[in-house]
Structure formats: structure tokens, C-alpha cells
């Protein structure tokens, strides 16, 4: 009996030493992640997203970002690089492929002044004529560091396109958990760029960002807002006026994990929260050694965040919380983006669900 115990302990010790010495791809950084805000007041989860309607169920693989067309149709990108058009005015919704943009995931969409749809795919920034299916590659990034994770974008009134690259270190891929690795390593590999359609020039505005993500122009056009997903914060970069070129934090320690960002043009911002804050991430950020050890294991072992608790946060351009709408069931998965329409409804895109949704907020 004792011999068997000793053999077992020896085997476990050898296994631990092998695990300890096995090289890791990550070099995690320490961050004393703060406790999230208490979900009370306007942040209280009341499950109001349960009234959201679903469209194109099972006809798409996801809806990472969506754009509402002039005819009311919904456009969204797919993981295989397609842009699809969804006619929600018929039952069931009709889905058709508009263009094969690239062979990488199409993540961000916004209309340009010339009627084309600007698209941020993992490997670059594109322009798509939705009538002819013609696709133009605007930029694939600097020659010495081509884009691997271009993510979201917005278009200014003068035609300039502002977009984020989430992580130059961990390119977006379908065969490995790239964003999870960036999340675990906790280093600033993201950046904010500007593309000038008139000249074809791409300008780096600011870098050193922690998973740069959603982008939205300010209502007055003087600045652009963007998110840092794994720092849980909303930033502003000034593009005009006396503070041009400066960057500041508008809202810090957000109550969820922010993904998409959209403005309504009237000073209100909508943040799509993938889920509420996750204790596992707080542990990883505070414990680099164990992060390095755990991420040597398969993803399904160490990345267990539980049932998604997605929600939408509405705030003003000063960072004041105005309202929130929560999914109380987990059936909406990870909410990736929110787009308000002219009727006051919110169109919702999903990271991991084969449908898109429409939610009409209750009248205050």
C-alpha cells in the first residue's frame, strides 16, 4: 500500500516538473485588476433582453458586426470572410451572400460616403460595393507588421475611416484561441489607425492598447471613442480642436467585458458587453505564474467562464451610465455589437450564436 502511494506521488511529482519545465508561448504581465462595479441602479440585471426578436436563426454562423442598409436590410460578416445580406422583412428571413471579402473573419462594418460598405477583416481594411460585389483592399497594414487582427471601425463625416487592430502579437485565427491568448498575456499589443481614402495613406494614431476593439465617432466629430476590451475601459482620441492628438479615459473599470461600440449621433453611446466581468480573468491578471502554467493546458481546461451574462450598456459621451439591458438566460451568448435604428430599436450582433436580434427598449 505504501509502495503504491509512493509510486503515485513520484509519478505526480514528475508530471508536475514536466508541466513546470514545458515552454510557454506566453509571457503574462501582472495587473491588479480592480473589483467590478456592483450591478445596482441602472446596472441592475433585470433580464429585459428576453423580449428581443431573433432573425435568420441557423442561416448564419454569427453576426460579429452589423450594418443597416438604406433599404432596411441587415449586412453582417461571417467567419469565412463572406459578407451576407439579410432581408428581415420576410418570414423566414432571406439570407444571400453579397461578396467574398477575404478568407479571414469579417469583424467590423460601416457605410462610407460613396455608398460602399467599409469592412475591417482580420487581415485588412476593405471597401465593398454591395450592388456589384466588387471588393477593394484599402490597406493590409505596414509592410513590416501587416494586420493580423483588424477589428472594428467607424467613418467620419469627411470620409476618414478610424479602425482598431486588437493585437499584432496574436493574429485572429480559427485554429487557435487568439483573443484568449491576448487576454491571458495581458500586454498592450493593440492600436488605433486612420485610413485616408483620398490618399490611400494609413496613419497610426496611438498604440500600446490592451485589445483595442469597438470604435465610434463622437456626435460633434471632434473625437473618436474606442474600447480596450481587457482593460474594461472606454477611451477618447481627439482628432480636432486644441486637444488634437491627445487620448484620455472616459469610463474606467466598466461593469462587463466590452466588445462593440456604437453612437446614435445624439451623444449616446451603446456598448455591447460580451458578458459580465469574469472572476477567472481577475485571477489570471493577478497571477502571471499560474496564467503561464494554466495556458499550457488545452483551452477547454483553463478557459471556463461559465454561462454568458451579456448585456448592453448605454452611457453618454462623458461616461455617465444611463441604462442597461441584460440577458437573464444566457441564450443570447456573447453580444458583440449594437446598432440603433431610426425607429429606436437596437439591432444586436452575436459572437457565438447563429442569429441576430432586435430589441426595443422600454419607454422610460
| 8: β partners | none
What is the predicted pLDDT for the residue at 115?
96
What is the predicted pLDDT for the residue at 17?
54
What is the predicted pLDDT for the residue at 61?
93
Do you know the residue count of the chain?
A: 364
Q: Given pLDDT bands bounded at 50, 70 and 90, which one contains residue 18?
A: low
Q: Given pLDDT bands bounded at 50, 70 and 90, which one contains residue 143?
A: confident
What is the predicted pLDDT for the residue at 15?
53
Q: Which three cell numbers stand for residue 344?
A: 429606436
Starting at the edge strand found earlier in the chain, the sheet holding 201-209 runs: 150-155, 161-165, 190-196, 201-209
Q: Which three cell numbers stand for residue 312?
A: 448592453
Q: Which three cell numbers stand for residue 234?
A: 472606454
Cα of 191 vs its chain's centroid, Å? 14
CATH of domain 43-60+147-359: 2.120.10.30
What is the predicted pLDDT for the residue at 174?
59
For residue 179, pLDDT over 90 is answered with no
What is the predicted pLDDT for the residue at 11?
47
Q: Which residue has the higher pLDDT, 230 or 364?
A: 230
Q: Which three cell numbers stand for residue 238?
A: 481627439
What is the predicted pLDDT for the residue at 171?
87
pTM for this prediction: 0.93
63-115: pLDDT as tens digits:
999 999 998 999 999 999 999 999 998 988 999 999 999 999 999 999 999 99
279-310: pLDDT as tens digits:
989 999 999 998 888 887 777 666 666 789 99
Q: Which residue has the higher pLDDT, 119 or 303?
A: 119
327-362: pLDDT as tens digits:
999 999 999 999 999 999 999 999 999 999 999 998
d(CA 176, CA 167): 14
Is the distance from CB of 253 to CB of 231 less than 8 angstroms?
Answer: no
Is the distance from CB of 102 to CB of 123 less than 8 angstroms?
Answer: yes
Is the distance from CB of 51 to CB of 359 less than 8 angstroms?
Answer: yes
233-251: pLDDT as tens digits:
999 999 999 999 999 999 9
What is the predicted pLDDT for the residue at 295?
84
What is the predicted pLDDT for the residue at 110?
98
Is the distance from CB of 164 to CB of 150 less than 8 angstroms?
Answer: yes
145-166: pLDDT as tens digits:
899 899 999 999 999 999 999 9
Is the distance from CB of 36 to CB of 80 less than 8 angstroms?
Answer: no
**Alpha carbon separation from 178 to 82, 172, 320 (Å, rounded):** 20, 6, 32
d(CA 118, CA 51): 31
Domain boundaries, the chain: 43-60+147-359
Residue 92: asked if its preceding bond is cis (omega within 30°), the reply is: yes
Question: Which ranges of 211-364 does DSSP label H, i.e. alpha helix?
Answer: 279-286, 288-294, 299-302
Taking residues 162-187, report their average pLDDT. 85
186-232: pLDDT as tens digits:
999 999 999 999 999 999 999 999 999 999 999 999 999 999 999 99
What is the predicted pLDDT for the residue at 13?
53
252-277: pLDDT as tens digits:
999 999 999 999 999 999 999 999 99
23-49: pLDDT as tens digits:
677 899 999 999 999 999 999 999 999
Amino acid at each position: 500500500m505504501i509502495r503504491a502511494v509512493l509510486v503515485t506521488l513520484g509519478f505526480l511529482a514528475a508530471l508536475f516538473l514536466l508541466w513546470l519545465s514545458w515552454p510557454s508561448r506566453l509571457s503574462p504581465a501582472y495587473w491588479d485588476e480592480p473589483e467590478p462595479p456592483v450591478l445596482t441602479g441602472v446596472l441592475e440585471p433585470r433580464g429585459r433582453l428576453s423580449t428581443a426578436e431573433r432573425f435568420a436563426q441557423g442561416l448564419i454562423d454569427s453576426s460579429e458586426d452589423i450594418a443597416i442598409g438604406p433599404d432596411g436590410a441587415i449586412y453582417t460578416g461571417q467567419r469565412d470572410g463572406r459578407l451576407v445580406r439579410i432581408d428581415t422583412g420576410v418570414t423566414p428571413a432571406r439570407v444571400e451572400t453579397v461578396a467574398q471579402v477575404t478568407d479571414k473573419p469579417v469583424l467590423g462594418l460601416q457605410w462610407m460616403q460613396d455608398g460602399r460598405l467599409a469592412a475591417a477583416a482580420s487581415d485588412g481594411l476593405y471597401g465593398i460595393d454591395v450592388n456589384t460585389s466588387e471588393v477593394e483592399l484599402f490597406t493590409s497594414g505596414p509592410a513590416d507588421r501587416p494586420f493580423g487582427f483588424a477589428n472594428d471601425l467607424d467613418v467620419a463625416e469627411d470620409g476618414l475611416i478610424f479602425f482598431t487592430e486588437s493585437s499584432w502579437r496574436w493574429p485572429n485565427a480559427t485554429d487557435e484561441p487568439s483573443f484568449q491568448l491576448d487576454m491571458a498575456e495581458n500586454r498592450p499589443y493593440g492600436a488605433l489607425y486612420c485610413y485616408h481614402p483620398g490618399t490611400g495613406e494609413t496613419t497610426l494614431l496611438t498604440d500600446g492598447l490592451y485589445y483595442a476593439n469597438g470604435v465610434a465617432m463622437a456626435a460633434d466629430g471632434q473625437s473618436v471613442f474606442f474600447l480596450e476590451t481587457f482593460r474594461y475601459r472606454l477611451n477618447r482620441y481627439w482628432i480636432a480642436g486644441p486637444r488634437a492628438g491627445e487620448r484620455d479615459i472616459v469610463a474606467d473599470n466598466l461593469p462587463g467585458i466590452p466588445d462593440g461600440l456604437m453612437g446614435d449621433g445624439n451623444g449616446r453611446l451603446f456598448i455591447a458587453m460580451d458578458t459580465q466581468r469574469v472572476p477567472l480573468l481577475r485571477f489570471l491578471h493577478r497571477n502571471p505564474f499560474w496564467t503561464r502554467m494554466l495556458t499550457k493546458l488545452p483551452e477547454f481546461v483553463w478557459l471556463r467562464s461559465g454561462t454568458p451574462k451579456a448585456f448592453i450598456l448605454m452611457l453618454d459621451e462623458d461616461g455617465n451610465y444611463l441604462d442597461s439591458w441584460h440577458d437573464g438566460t444566457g441564450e443570447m451568448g456573447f453580444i458583440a455589437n449594437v446598432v440603433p435604428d431610426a425607429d429606436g430599436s437596437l439591432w444586436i450582433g452575436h459572437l457565438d450564436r447563429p442569429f441576430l436580434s432586435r430589441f426595443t427598449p422600454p419607454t422610460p
